[in-house]
Amino acid sequence: MSTSRSPHQGVSISIRNMQPMEIVKAVLENNYRYFYSQIKSETSYRKIHEILATILDTAEGMSPNDAISFLKKQLPRVYVIIEYQNARGQIYNGLRDLLINVVNDLSSANTSNIKNLIRNARLLIDSLAVIAKEVG
């Protein structure tokens, strides 16, 4: 699959609407080659993964209200790092768009769905980390 195709052409992954195993399979089975082509190096993805994983892990241990407040303060940093890595050509547009959608879903969460979104987001970024490790 080419990195020049339009973002998410044929790729539909949502932390809001998918079950955990569906997310894993969507990344690691159904779209592995696509996401492999979206990551230039393990290091470039690791920078995004580390900050987002730390934020998600911290938020998961909080009450829903505190998690929402915390995420609203912390997610702009993730957004900037995603855009920076994309501008440097370290991740490509399809992966950038997917990660921005994750940030947007987390930013618009409410107390009834925040914990599920945090867990699904973490599962998604960890699945992508498996692919990044293969990229090297």
Separation CA 24–CA 102 (nearest Å): 15
Q: Where in the chain are the domains? A: 20-135
| Whole-structure pTM value | 0.87
Whether residue 59 contacts residue 70, with contact meaning beta carbons closer than 8 Å, is answered with yes
Report pLDDT digits (tens) over 110-120: 999 999 999 99
In this predicted structure, the answer to whether residue 99 has a pLDDT above a threshold of 80 is yes
Strand-pairing partners, residue 91, are 39
Model confidence at 2, in pLDDT bands (50, 70, 90)? very low
pLDDT score of 36: 92
Separation CA 98–CA 17 (nearest Å): 14
